[in-house]
Amino acid sequence: MYDLPVGPGRKYLSEGALGRVVGGWKLTSVITVGSGFPLTVSAGEDTANIGNCCRPNRVAGVSTALDDPTVARWFNTAAFSRAPNGTFGTAGRGEVIGPGIFTWDFSTSKDIHVSANNYIQFRFEAFNFLNHPNWGDPNTTFSNVAFGTINSTRTEMRRLQFGLKFVF
């Protein structure tokens, strides 16, 4: 939290009506940045015939990463192929990296004193202030028609709220 140095009792504009109007504001900010999680691709079918899902085969020499991933194609789906019946598949754990996260939450507030112990607090808050889309994980089931696509977001889009309270 940062208390702006403007207004009564502060370094700048400590006297006068202008200081009372523009002074007393507090700023708060939280920035969250994170990388994506490693994800494991599953076959979506029991190719090994053990009653449990297996993994697809990994195509040798083909990278899972794309130069410009999009929600329609987050990773290189051509890097995987169906494992033959009776086999477990060669794809390893965590071969695909999901999308990262970036959010900036911001708030500002001002206390307006009406007496020595009583004041009105005005507050404005913005969550995901820049309205940055934080994509959910891609579909990692090889047999699914949506394999490699992202169909959700991890966080909400921008949300703004105002508040007013009387403290006595």
Give the pTM.
0.76
pLDDT of 61 higher than 90:
yes
Q: What is the mean pLDDT of residues 41-62?
A: 90
Q: Tell me the residue type at 40.
A: T
Number of domains present in the structure of the chain: 1
In this predicted structure, what is the pLDDT of residue 16?
Answer: 78
Please write the tens of the pLDDT for every residue from 75-115: 999 999 999 999 999 999 999 999 999 999 999 999 888 88
| Residues of the domain holding 39 | 2-167
pLDDT tens, 16-47? Answer: 788 777 788 899 999 999 999 999 999 999 98
- At 104-156, the pLDDT tens digits run 999 999 988 888 889 999 999 999 999 999 999 999 999 999 999 999 999 99
